[in-house]
Amino acid sequence: MARFIQHKKEAVWFYGIISIFYDTILNPPHYTEDMREEALEPLDLNDRNLIVVDVGGGTGFTTTGVVKHVDAKNVTILDQSPHQLAKAKKKEQLKQCTIIEGDAEDLPFPTDYADRYVSAGSIEYWPDPQRGINEAYRVLKPGGKACMIGPVYPTYWLSRLFADMWMLFPKEEEYIEWFKRAGFTDIQLKRIGPKWFRGVRRHGLIIGCSVTGVKPTAGESPLQLGPKAEDVKKRVSPFAFLVRFVIGFMAALYYVQLTNYMRIKDLIVPKGKPI
Query: Which tens digits make up the pLDDT trace of 210-223?
Result: 999 999 999 999 99
Query: Which tens digits make up the pLDDT trace of 50-88?
Result: 999 999 999 999 999 999 999 999 999 999 888 889 999
Q: Write the CATH number for 207.
A: 3.40.50.150
Query: Which tens digits make up the pLDDT trace of 244-257?
Result: 778 777 888 898 88
Is the distance from CB of 175 to CB of 129 less than 8 angstroms? no
Q: What is the pLDDT of residue 234?
A: 62
Q: What is the pLDDT of residue 155?
A: 95
What distance in Å separates the CA atoms of residue 198 and residue 63, rounded to the nearest whole number?
26
CA 39 vs. chain centroid, Å, equals 11
Is the distance from CB of 244 to CB of 10 less than 8 angstroms? yes
**pLDDT > 90 fraction of the chain, expressed in percent and rounded:** 64
What distance in Å separates the CA atoms of residue 208 and residue 185, rounded to the nearest whole number?
21
Q: Which domain holds residue 55?
A: 8-268
Q: What are the strands, taking DSSP E only, across the chain?
A: 52-55, 75-79, 98-101, 114-120, 140-152, 185-191, 205-214
| Residue 1 included in any domain | no
Report the predicted TM-score, pTM, of the whole model to 2 decimal places: 0.90
| Residue 275 included in any domain | no
Q: Residue 118, SS3?
A: strand
| Residue 32 included in any domain | yes
- For residue 15, pLDDT over 70 is answered with no
Is the distance from CB of 124 to CB of 151 less than 8 angstroms? yes
| Residue 3 included in any domain | no
Q: Residue 169, SS3?
A: coil
- Split into its structural domains, the chain has a count of 1
